[in-house]
Amino acid sequence: MKTRLFLTTMACAFAAAANANTITFGFLNHGHNVDLGSTFTFTQGGYSLTATGFTTAGLPTDLYAKFASGNKDETGLGTARGNDHEINSTDFIQLTLPTTSSSFLKSIYLGSVQPGEMARVYFTTTPGSLIGATLIGTMKGKDGSITIPNADKHGYIDIVAASGNVLLHSAVIDTIPDAGETLGLLGLAVTALGLLRWRLVRK
């Protein structure tokens, strides 16, 4: 009975280690209503995500962490250009996709997309430019999330306001367990199975 319980526990631990976890970046953990400069690396749970502001002409522009008390839809990452401090049609925010094998960008959530406004999300391998970028998804007249395709994991994600102004509300990354940790648990499980077999043979 104890052996069976031990094996069940090991199987659950291995399954938990093999599954990905999610980490959400909210972009406000370094201050509210502040200019963050043209490039800023956000950290959450030991993982990092870098955002850079650009004009559509390819020039750097500062990022802005916008906070509206009591209105989460008007809270998120925009640019410092203009009084609204949001992503306008003349600028965009570029996210550098994680380069480590242990994490990848899963989805982004857009905010402040009002009726008549439109946000577009692109994938590109070119820093600071929208030229040649591939459209991933469009958000029109409402807030919501856009999933990043599995194929688009190495390069950049661009968030653009096709009309009006919008915000990058949050981003979600999936984290993959460390290979050594997973293999270690697998080794323990195999050892436990071997002990169980030896015990059954002795009976």
DSSP assignment string, 30-87 = T-SSEEEESEEEEEETTEEEEEEEEETTS-B--EEEE--TT-GGG-EEEESSSTT-SB
Spell out the domain ranges in the chain.
Answer: 18-177
Terminal Cα distance for the chain, rounded = 14
Q: Across-strand partners of 49?
A: 42
The CATH code for residues 18-177 is: 2.60.120
Question: In this predicted structure, what is the pLDDT of residue 96?
Answer: 96
38, two tokens: 């043209």
Give me the percent of the chain exceeding a pLDDT of 90. 63
Work out the pLDDT band at 17, boundaries 50, 70, 90.
very low
Question: In this predicted structure, what is the pLDDT of residue 184?
Answer: 44
pLDDT in tens, 135-182: 999 999 999 999 999 876 789 999 999 999 999 999 999 987 654 444
Q: Is the pLDDT of residue 97 over 50?
A: yes
- Strand 47-55 relative to strand 144-147, pairing: unpaired
